[in-house]
Amino acid sequence: METILRDRPITPVGDRARPRPQARVARPSFDPQTEAIRLCEIGKILLNAGRFEAALDQFEQALAWQPHDVESWYSRAEARAALNRYEAAIHSLEQAQALADFAEPRLWVQKAMILIALHHPQAALTHCNCALWLEPNHVQAWLFRGVALQQLGRDQEAQRSYRRASHRATLTLHDRMSQLCHDLAPE
């Protein structure tokens, strides 16, 4: 058995000292997808720590390795929004939505949140409704739908959305769809 200490081989002595032929250990080949995931996860840690510029840099690097990664585009949008770069954040979300075939509710909700920050409540309401058609019990979609409705001066509808955000009933699919149609209908 041979141990390497600071790049110098040290051969053990005594009963267990048997010289072995030096075999090269095959290193796994470099995988761009794994590197992109690693960079994205580091970016998320930095984002949660409030280091938005550093996080954005990690997401940019991840996208350089894997430009079709929805999670990296989504996280990049979060970092940009945290830096008040709302238009750039929307662009990143649109990339993520296109890659996800517009089928992920969280992307619609994130875009709605940014539109609310940009004082575009009608567009935010539309995005929340899209998220709710994909996932009728999406709590954040109901919450931000309520915010958008309140900004539009539609307080009763906003209250219904807030109630739905706080209400997590276990209803049948038919009941949930009926409730969804009722809650989305204008008064």
Residue 41 CB contacts under 8 Å (≥ 6 apart), including other chains: none
Bridge partners for 9 per DSSP: 4
Among the residue ranges 23-27, 106-110, 140-144, 150-154, the one predicted with the least confidence is 23-27
**Has residue 187 got a pLDDT over 70?**
no
Query: Would you tell me how many other CB atoms lie within 10 Å of the CB of residue 7?
Result: 5
Torsion sign, CA atoms 58, 106, 101, 123: negative
Q: Which domains does the chain show, CATH number per domain?
A: 30-101 (1.25.40.10), 102-187 (1.25.40.10)
Cα dist. 127→55, 78, 133 in Å? 26, 17, 10
Q: By the 8 A CB rule, do 109 and 137 touch?
A: no
Q: How high does pLDDT run on average in the chain?
A: 86
So what's the pLDDT on residue 33?
Answer: 87
Better pLDDT: 50 or 166? 50
Cα dist. 150→49, 52, 154, 185 in Å? 31, 30, 5, 16
Bridge partners for 3 per DSSP: 10
So what's the pLDDT on residue 66?
Answer: 92
Query: Would you tell me how many other CB atoms lie within 10 Å of the CB of residue 33?
Result: 11
Average pLDDT over residues 51-65: 95
Cα dist. 145→97, 102, 110, 170, 180 in Å? 19, 18, 12, 21, 13
**pTM for the whole structure:** 0.72
Average pLDDT over residues 22-33: 67
**Has residue 83 got a pLDDT over 60?**
yes
The span from the first CA to the last CA of the chain, in angstroms, equals 79
